[in-house]
Amino acid sequence: MIFLKHQFFTLLFLSVISFQGYTQSENEDNLKVGWSTADITPDMPVLVAGQFHARLSEGVMDPVTATILALESGEGTNSEKTIWISCDLVGISDGMRATANLRDEIRNRVIKAIPSILPEQIIVNATHTHAAPYVASTASVEDIYGVSLEQMADGKPAMSPSDYIPFAADKIAEGVISAWGKRKPGGMSLGLGHAVVGLNRLQALKHGKSRMYGNTNSPEFSHIEGYEDHSLNLMYFWDINKQLTGIIINIASPSQVSEHSYELSADFWHDTKVALRKSLGDSVYVLAQASSAGDQSPHVMVGSKAEERMQKLLGFAEEGTGRGSNAHRKYIAKQIVDEVTDLFPVMKANIDWQPEFKHEMKLVPLSRRLLSEEDVAEATKEAKTWQAEYDKLKAEVRDNPAMIETPRWYKDITISYSKLRRGLVVSERYELEKVQPKMPIEVHVVRIGDAVFATNPFELYLDYGMQMKAQSPAIQTFIVQLTGSGSYLPTKRSIEGGAYGAVPASTLMGPKGGDELVEETLSIINTMW
Amino acid sequence: MASQLYIGSRTVDITPQLPVAVTGQFHLRIAEIAETPLIATVMVLETRGAEGDLAIMVSCDALYIPTDLVALVRQAVKKQLPDIDENKIFLNATHTHTAPVLALDGEYLIPKTGVTQVKDYRKFFVEKISAAIVGAYHDRSPGSVAWGMSYAVAGYNRRIVYADGTSGMSSKTNLPEFRSLEGSEDHDVNTLFFWNDQNKLISIVVGVASPSQEVEGRYAVNADYWHPVREGIKEKYGKDVNVLGWAAAAGDITPHIRYRKEADDRMRNLRNLSRTEELARRIILAVDESYDAVATERHSELVFKHQVEELPLPERWVTEKNYLEAKAFVTNAKEQIAEDPKAADALYRMMNWQERTVKRYEKQLDNPKPMYPMDLHVIRLGDIAICTNEFELFSDFGIRMMARSKALQTFVIQLTGSSDWGSYLPTQRAVNGGAYSAIIHSNIVGPVGGQVLVDRTVEVIDQLWDKEVK
């Protein structure tokens, strides 16, 4: 009898909880959540993006995907909507740097299928894996890398970027349609954890200049140039039965452990997703975002031997350890998953079923980087040097056609061509700044409960994101970089240091544009509080 | 040459008689309660034979340990263990700001009655710690060690850079002129695990680049985050496990959050943890990860060398401007105290802090190249190095040592003895930025001396890794 009474009250209690949850979720202000993924792995070789040299993919290490999260609050045409799309790509072409525009290709397909969704409600971000298909340009591969795709592929089938972009856009749009169709009442919970994944990769030397990477085991090494941010901003999503449906994981690190791979890969996000699903269920979606991390990488700058040993002792040695290894990816995944799973019960107990939800997109004009004649002269001189090198290497191939039998024979030629092009863009940017001193960029600000998401299309140096986080009225501020085609946005300190990401050829904007981005983003955020 | 390792370890309670003056702020604080015990943990390492060596390491819940007090501990131990080289003993402070004053004089005007006197606590400190060292030394028996490394976010850079190029210490970040944090951070958690010959885990060393000053403003005795770290470790690994807390180079680091504090507070509240418990949670997770990975890779026979030397470091130059400003401050403070003796509670320490600068300048007139004699300990224990310094050493110097070290892991231990009540050792960029920890009164040794410290430490580590140990 006692047991039955206890059972009755338990059932009654659960019914109330369930009823309350369902009632709340039926309210038109409730959040509706839909998820899907799209496999955007091509079925033939493609160019792999992320290095000066061309890489024609030589297989698939793991799938490259897009994860889609559809959010809606309210009903009808006036409902607030956000479509988040996170892609395992190095960047999202958006017309800013070249004619290619994967972002708009996706948007056009989605709004055609679902007219109630507006283009500016769709946000596409890249995780910055350096082992994914090239989407930055629709030009011919010869124009991009100085060697034709046919030559690189030696006559075998290969997919050009101009063919891959619509292929990926089709798949992603299908994913969006699926996620939108599957949206159901749900709730969210907001979490903050920590994981030491992104490390500042700029090494300041004693003579005052900086370099990207290099050997810190040197008397010339002074310090790590900038800061790091090891916060793990998390947003868990739940169905009305309090079952986890997916998680946004935002981390200040690009996913580029396997950055030299010729096999396609989502990098550490693949391992993270596999490990998370093992812990939290196969059906859980993971939407990865990179916070401002232009000066960060997952590569260990100091103490790499100790970390490599730990990777081995933790049982990850099977596919190698150390820099660029799968063991490093798995160790990163472990750190992220440990935090996400540790927080799981706390998050489950603190679900917000009716979070405030607002989304605003603004075209923000930012000052282009003001370049000097000396910058142009230096870059032009470098371009000439690389032109000569390119011509020499090209002639060698012409004179010795058998060279192309050698695997990856095109590496040096494509490096020289990329550096030649890189030198030439400086004078183009110098001239452009005179007539168009400002360049408009998309900034999305999305408030969900006490959290806010703020996007930018850059490889944004960490300090800018930190400034936004420090001044934001939100309890947690998720900065999402690379919601466009990229280009580094360095700090004044980094420009003085002069390392790779801060030189004229690497940048469209400078510190002035960075300061404007911070100010404008915060002004939009502040309107939501 | 590899030799059998002998180990001994003890933990001793060094909680003072209350009430007591606690140190770490400019103003006088009298603690009426002890929120946690204060402890010191001793670890004795020894190898025997012709090439045998010894290290006696003591981690103390203290803000700093004056060098004269270190000497007294060594003397007291030497009396009881006349055959040992007492210079192989070093003590480190965890930098808790809620532990008793240890400098004999000059820090605060402490009431002469009703409060534990500094000389009495120092005597108690020496007796307790020397007895624990002797006990641990007698306990030593064959043992083994394993080393590990993981990560925990337990320290944050506290120097805030603004648009005009100046820096602030622990100042605001939610300002439009906020630009960045001045320096880097080191989130490595370096660990050593020691087992006796019965395979019982007896000690754990935990190295964290963060001073234990989360509750630094309290009028209480408190071991800060090391208390919940130790309690958590004991709960998991056994109540008899001795835990040594080592602060790595962390002069510009604090456990306080410099931005997004609201988010961190919310998460703690959801977990129902205090801030010290939250820091402990993160550190213990790192310890657990290392233990799980390395517990089966124990070393009982290994290379063990401990080199001790006095390292002369060039002192930071006191300019005439520094001197005049300090002298004016001291004169003014003395007048205020003369007018109202109660003003000493707030002014006395700051006055003496600046008076040290006045004295340094006057000393410079006779000796234009003053050198600070620092006690440097460098230990090789198998694949790892342990190196000490006497400062609140800015993180960059520790990172330089670790980057250039031949060791698999390099444990940097700061605050192993302090001149007076301690001194920061800042980088050049910190000096350029200014602010409390990088101004002349806070620095006996400056960036030039810091580099000498790095270079010599790396050189000694190199020697200990050479086949022919010099």
Q: What is the DSSP string of B2-68?
A: -EE-EEEEEEEE-PPPSSEEEESSSS-EEE-EESS--EEEEEEEE--STT--EEEEEEESSS--BHH
pLDDT band at B420 (very low <50, low <70, confident <90, very high): confident
Contact B188, B1 (CB under 8 A): no
CA atoms of A250 and A469, how far apart (whole Å): 13
CB contact under 8 A, A475 and B262: yes
CA atoms of A469 and A452, how far apart (whole Å): 10
Bridging pattern class, strands B301-302 and B3-4: antiparallel
Helix ranges (DSSP H) in B175-225: none
Q: What is the pLDDT of residues B288-336, one digit of tens each?
A: 999 999 999 999 999 999 999 999 999 999 999 999 999 999 999 999 9
Q: What is the mean pLDDT of residues B411-434?
A: 94
Bridging pattern class, strands A221-224 and A231-239: unpaired
CA atoms of A520 and A366, how far apart (whole Å): 9
CA atoms of B166 and B172, how far apart (whole Å): 13
Q: Which residue has the higher pLDDT, A388 or B469?
A: A388
ipTM value: 0.94
Which pLDDT value is given to residue A131?
98
Contact A256, A128 (CB under 8 A): yes
CB contact under 8 A, B150 and A309: no
The answer to whether residue B164 neighbours chain A at the CB level (below 8 Å) is no
The angle formed by the CA atoms of residues A416, A422 and A424, to the nearest 5 degrees, is 105
Chain B residues 349-408 with a CB less than 8 Å from chain A: 396, 399-400, 402-404, 408
Q: Nearest to residue A499, comparing CAs of A91, A208, A253?
A: A208
Which pLDDT value is given to residue A10?
42
Choose the mutation target among A196, A311, A337, A352 for the interface with B, i.e. most B CBs under 10 Å.
Answer: A196
CB contact under 8 A, B403 and A216: yes
| Domain range summary for chain B, segments of one domain joined by + | 3-309+372-465, 316-369
H-helix or E-strand spanning residue B452: helix B447-465
Give the three-state DSSP class for B387. Answer: strand
Q: What is the mean pLDDT of residues A387-397?
A: 96
pLDDT band at B466 (very low <50, low <70, confident <90, very high): confident
User: Please, what sign has the CA dihedral across residues B170, B172, B174, B176?
Assistant: negative
CA A238 to chain centre: 24
Give strand pairing partners of B311.
B374
Inter-axis angle of helices B275-294 and B226-237, nearest 10: 40
Which pLDDT value is given to residue A19?
39
Residue B207 above 90 pLDDT?
yes
CB contact under 8 A, A310 and B293: yes
Which pLDDT value is given to residue A78?
86
B140: burial class by Cβ within 10 Å (0-12, 13-18, 19+)?
middle
Per cent of chain B over pLDDT 70 is 99
Per cent of chain B over pLDDT 90 is 96
Q: What is the pLDDT of residues B69-97, one digit of tens each?
A: 999 999 999 999 999 999 999 999 999 99
Name every chain B residue with its beta carbon within 8 A of the beta carbon of A346: 267, 270-271
Which pLDDT value is given to residue B435?
93
CB contact under 8 A, A192 and B297: no
Residue A414 above 70 pLDDT?
yes
CB contact under 8 A, A519 and B176: yes
CA B52 to chain centre: 28
DSSP string, B366-384: H-SS-EEEEEEEEEEETTE
**Which residue on chain A is closest to B383 by alpha carbon?**
A306
H-helix or E-strand spanning residue A417: helix A411-435
The answer to whether residue B230 neighbours chain A at the CB level (below 8 Å) is no
Contact A80, A74 (CB under 8 A): yes
CA atoms of A233 and A468, how far apart (whole Å): 14
Q: Nearest to residue A148, comparing CAs of A424, A421, A416, A413?
A: A413
The answer to whether residue B328 neighbours chain A at the CB level (below 8 Å) is no
Residue A14 above 70 pLDDT?
no
Q: Nearest to residue B331, comparing CAs of B351, B346, B348?
A: B351
Residue A6 above 50 pLDDT?
no
DSSP string, A101-124: -HHHHHHHHHHHH-TTS-GGGEEE
CB contact under 8 A, A310 and B149: yes
Q: Which residue has the higher pLDDT, A99 or A416?
A: A416
Residue B395 above 90 pLDDT?
yes
Q: What is the mean pLDDT of residues B428-455?
A: 96
Q: What is the pLDDT of residues A370-384, one digit of tens each?
A: 999 999 999 999 999
Name every chain A residue with its beta carbon within 8 A of the beta carbon of B192: none
Q: What is the pLDDT of residues A437-488, one digit of tens each?
A: 999 999 999 999 999 999 999 999 999 999 999 999 999 999 999 999 989 9
Which pLDDT value is given to residue A77?
78
List the single range of A400-409, B72-81, B282-291, B448-457 with lowest mean pLDDT.
A400-409
Query: Residue type for B456, please?
Result: R
CA atoms of A48 and A297, how far apart (whole Å): 19
CA distance, residue B353 to nearest chain A CA (Å): 29
pLDDT band at A362 (very low <50, low <70, confident <90, very high): very high
Which pLDDT value is given to residue A26?
52
Which pLDDT value is given to residue A99?
83
Residue B419 above 90 pLDDT?
no
pLDDT band at B365 (very low <50, low <70, confident <90, very high): very high
Radius of gyration of chain B (CA): 22
Which pLDDT value is given to residue B105?
82
Which pLDDT value is given to residue A12?
43
Per cent of chain A over pLDDT 70 is 95
The whole-chain average pLDDT of chain A stands at 93
CA A265 to chain centre: 14
Inter-axis angle of helices B118-139 and B67-80, nearest 10: 50
Contact A244, A284 (CB under 8 A): yes
pLDDT band at A21 (very low <50, low <70, confident <90, very high): very low
List the single range of A15-24, B370-379, B392-401 with lowest mean pLDDT.
A15-24
Provide the b/e sequence for B240-272 (b: ≥16 CB within 10 Å).
Answer: ebbbbbbbbbbbbbbbebbbbebbbebbbebee
H-helix or E-strand spanning residue B411: strand B409-413
CA atoms of A412 and A418, how far apart (whole Å): 10
Residue A260 above 60 pLDDT?
yes
Name every chain B residue with its beta carbon within 8 A of the beta carbon of A333: none
Q: Nearest to residue B407, comparing CAs of B96, B190, B181?
A: B190
CA B26 to chain centre: 19
Contact B18, B220 (CB under 8 A): no
Of the candidates A191, A226, A303, the beta carbon closest to that of B402 is on: A303
Q: What is the mean pLDDT of residues B442-456?
A: 97
Name every chain A residue with its beta carbon within 8 A of the beta carbon of B148: 310, 313
Give strand pairing partners of B92.
B59
pLDDT band at A5 (very low <50, low <70, confident <90, very high): very low
Give the three-state DSSP class for A86. Answer: strand
Which pLDDT value is given to residue A8?
42
Q: What is the pLDDT of residues A73-85, one digit of tens each?
A: 998 778 999 999 9
Q: What is the mean pLDDT of residues A121-140?
A: 97
Residue A15 above 60 pLDDT?
no
The whole-chain average pLDDT of chain B stands at 96
Residue B390 above 60 pLDDT?
yes
**Six-digit token string for A513:** 């544009």
A386-390, long-range: CB < 8 A, 24+ apart: A386/A416, A386/A417, A386/A419, A386/A420, A386/A423, A387/A420, A389/A416, A390/A146, A390/A416, A390/A417, A390/A420
CB contact under 8 A, B404 and A335: no
Per cent of chain A over pLDDT 90 is 91
Inter-axis angle of helices A326-348 and A304-313, nearest 10: 70
Provide the b/e sequence for B356-372 (b: ≥16 CB within 10 Å).
Answer: bbbebbeebeeeeebeb
Complete edge-to-edge strand list for the sheet that includes strand A80-87:
A122-126, A80-87, A65-73, A31-39, A184-194, A231-239, A244-251, A285-290
CA atoms of A370 and A504, how far apart (whole Å): 9
Which pLDDT value is given to residue A76?
79
Which pLDDT value is given to residue B293?
97
